[in-house]
Amino acid sequence: MLVSAAVTEFEGQLATYKGHEPNCPCYRCLFPAPPPPGTVPNCSETGVLGAAAGVMGSLQALEETRSRSNVETEGAIPNLPKILKAGEAYKIRYAQALADLHRSLNARRPALQGEWQVTMNTLVAAINSRTRIRSTYIAEASAFNNETTKILEQLGGPPTVLALPYGGGGNTVAYAKGFLEVGGPTPQILSVEAADRATTNASAIRIPTPVHRAEVDEAHARCGGAIVSVTDDEIAVAWRSLAQKEGVFCEPASAAALAGVDLGSYAVGTRVVLVLTGHGLKDPDALDRLPGASS
């Protein structure tokens, strides 16, 4: 028995296939082959409402339970007509709210464009005046004591190596300060930068000149460690490795940490901690930029 559910935009479809019973078609009877690649849009392209998938999943589980317990379909889902009617009403309200939002944004577009230009001018002025825009949280680096404490508690002591991406240098300095404030032995800090900082595909570390280079050098002097440069191809390999072997979908900049570790030669049993600084949805366009990302 197969209970199949499908969703499209605001609607869903539920079907139960009992191919093991006489005169009952199976799923392959109706769909003998999958559709050709590229002919079926994904959920994002279709505009599937997130709640629709949840509702259909719940109904799918309910139908599975009903079928296995031999409960008759009649009355198996209490108030189903009311539920469906409420869903239709919600669909209408959602469409109306979306239309109202579009009208409101279109009406405010000139004002929003003006505000955006003012914001960009302010940002450019700040950069030109060498204001430290990136990694400004270093002033609150003591907050990283929480992160270092978690690492120490979970491992029962410091790792041998702490590897992390190096863009502006804020994370390197903050982690170093955290370990130093906790006291005791500190890990060697491996700060991994892009070989071509200005054009790297790893957008989060695409910083031509590190703001905190001097502080990073000091952190390495006190804790040990080094700066390692990796190519975009090496980052892409590490990025795919994290997804395929660990099930971790991170932004490319995070994968730079693993790429840097892969360049080293560590003895078996060496304790290495990777700091992944961002989820893959932080930089979804990387799927189009990174070499071989589709594989």
CB 227, CB 166: distance < 8 Å = yes
Radius of gyration of the chain (CA): 27
Beta bridge partners of 225: 189
Per-residue pLDDT band for 134 (boundaries 50, 70, 90) equals: very low
Which of 275, 237, 284 lies closest to 259, judged by CA? Answer: 237
Average pLDDT over all residues of the chain: 81
Q: Is the pLDDT of residue 137 over 60?
A: no
The pLDDT tens digits of the residues spanning 219-258 come to 999 999 999 999 999 999 999 999 889 999 999 999 999 9
What DSSP string describes 57-99?
A: HHHHHHHHHHHHTT--STTSSTTHHHHHHHHHHHHHHHHHHHH
Q: Of the ranges 16-30, 168-182, 214-228, which one carries the lowest mean pLDDT score? A: 16-30
Residue pair 193/229 in contact (Cβ under 8 Å)? The answer is yes
Is 50 exceeded by the pLDDT of residue 130? no
β-sheet bridge partners, residue 12: 7
Express each pLDDT in 56-72 by its tens digit.
888 888 888 777 766 55
Entry pTM:
0.53
pLDDT at 70: 62
Tell me the C-alpha distance between 34 and 236, whole Å: 30
Query: How many residues would you count in the chain?
Result: 295
Residue 100 has pLDDT above 70, yes or no: yes
Residue 215: strand pairing partners: none
Half-sphere exposure of 104 (CA within 13 A, CB side): 6
The predicted model gives 78-82 an average pLDDT of 63
Task: Report CA dihedral (146, 147, 152, 158) to the nearest 10 degrees.
Answer: -130
CA 285 to chain centre: 11
Of 264, 278, 252, nearest to 225 by C-alpha is 264
User: What number is the average pLDDT over the span 81-88?
Assistant: 67
pLDDT exceeds cutoff 90 at 213: yes
Q: Where are the alpha helices (DSSP H) in 211-285?
A: 213-223, 232-246, 252-263
Distance CA 20, CA 182 (A): 64
